[in-house]
Amino acid sequence: MLVAFALTNRACFRDRQELSMEAVGRTADRFAFGTGVRQAPRLNRVAAIYGPNGGGKSRLVQGLAFAREFVLNSSKEGQAGEEIAHLPFLFDEVSRNSPTVLETAFIHDGSMYEYGFSLDRKRVHREWLLAWPPGGRMRRLLDRFLDPETGEPDCEFGPSVRGPKSLWRDSTRPNALLVSTAVQLNSETFRPVVDWFRRLRIVDTDGLPPNFTGSDIAESEAYRKRVLGFLKAADISVADVDVDKVETPLEELKEILPPAIYTRFAKDSETIEGMKLRLVHKPSDGDPQALDLEEESDGTQRYFSFAGPWLRSREHDLVVVVDELDRSLHPHLVASLVRHFNQQTDDGDSKAQLIATLHEVTLLQKDLDRGQVWLTQKERKTEAAYLKPVSDYRPRPDEALMRGYLGGRYGGVPVVIAPEPRG
């Protein structure tokens, strides 16, 4: 469960901006759930982020994606001396030469954690981890820092931390995270951080592969039925899905695959296993007909690709992050995807969460609570972006959020200047 994510001096965000999933006021159970954790008792199921083009929505998602990638892979995929993908705010000199700070608060196995790190292109400057175990006080598990006098790295571990601390410290490269390194060396103390970030799913809508859904269908008849139900609930009339595994020569994909991925596959095989997906349509006055997924509309392809991650999210209480959720989708389909998180079902109260950027405003009429709506905007003078919840404007419980947003009451809309009439 995500409690909050904050970033400072990352891309267009110069000053610290925080996305909080904590429910505001008396949020209905439809929109929030109880955590059983005193520090963050109720969390929102959805955070919908609106704003003008170029306002920072995608940069926020990219910040989360970078944090996930760095936590999971900094200890094993980088080499000493390699530069970190540091992306500071560039429009003032102080920010250009300052570290980026990324902070994440989350709940895992009944404990709340606050984990953060700061870095520039050469090294990690600081790294810290706090924990609140069930019924217990806050514990500082890690504080890694640069000695102010020598500039050399050092770290302090909390008294409850057990294990080969000197090995963890000495094995951590300047351009890697100690938490990631320690888990590689079988640390159980820091494993909850890595495990939680594995449960954070960044869905890339540019390259969202349908094979994720297809592979689950191939392995489970029950899952096939669930996917078909997911499609039919959105009025996508599909009678069945055919899944055929195919072997493709790796050489044919050389121009398509990123070089690193191509090299990784080429070490083990000359072919790569893929699959052919067909959606079977059964008209009432004709014979069944199977169409390749590529022959379907863009919207149907995207919705089919969403089925796997969406169904998995409820099963495993995942945090799903999507940039431009509404791309190529009818407003009713977008609403259906959001309701999948906001609606409780007979299979229990899911604690899955969705963070999505979008422009589809009809969701503001009834599918989102005012505490679930966030806005990004850039200051004209500085070009720095900020992030703000609509709840800060204290809209009335019965306020028409869509009308208020489109009318500019909360900000987060482009200021469009009409062309002057020809004289």
Looking at residue 387, its amino acid is L
| More confident call, 374 vs 344 | 374
> Is 194's pLDDT higher than 70?
yes
Chain centroid to CA 108: 17
Residue 278 has pLDDT above 70, yes or no: yes
Question: With bands split at pLDDT 50, 70 and 90, how would you rate the model's confidence at 399?
Answer: confident
| Whole-angstrom distance, CA of residue 307 vs CA of residue 317 | 15
Which carries the bigger pLDDT value, residue 73 or residue 207? Answer: 73
Angle at 150 between CA 148 and CA 155, to 5 degrees: 65
Residue 348 pLDDT: 61
pLDDT tens digits, one per residue of 324-363: 998 888 899 999 999 989 886 655 678 999 999 999 999 9
Computed over every residue of the chain, the mean pLDDT equals 87
* pLDDT exceeds 90 at position 167: yes
Interval 172-199 mean pLDDT: 94
Residue 87 has pLDDT above 80, yes or no: yes
Taking alpha carbons only, the member of 132, 138, 145 closest to residue 178 is: 145
Residue 273 confidence (pLDDT): 66
Is residue 257 within 8 A of residue 265, CB to CB? The reply is yes
Q: Whose CA is closest to 197, among 134, 305, 85, 117?
A: 117
| Per-residue confidence band for 147, with pLDDT thresholds at 50, 70 and 90 | confident
Per-residue model confidence as pLDDT tens digits over 153-163: 889 999 999 99
Closest Cα to residue 246, out of 214, 213, 223?
214
For strands 46-50 and 373-378, give the pairing.
parallel
Of 95 and 298, the one with more pLDDT: 95
Q: What is the pLDDT of residue 179?
A: 95
Residue 14 to residue 295: CA distance in whole angstroms: 44
**Spatial contact of 73 and 51, defined as CB atoms under 8 Å apart:** no
CA distance 412 to 212: 34
Residue 287: which pLDDT band, with cuts at 50, 70 and 90? confident
C-beta separation of 43 from 28 below 8 A: no
Q: What percent of the chain has pLDDT over 70?
A: 90
pLDDT at 5: 97
More confidently predicted of 419 and 229: 229
Residue 407: pLDDT band (50, 70, 90) is: confident
Under 8 Å between Cβ of 117 and 180 = no
Dump pLDDT digits (tens) for 13-72.
Answer: 999 999 999 998 888 888 999 999 999 999 999 999 999 988 999 999 999 999 999 999
Contact 117, 102 (CB under 8 A): yes
**H-type helices in 148-297, by residue range?**
165-171, 178-184, 191-198, 211-219, 221-233, 259-266
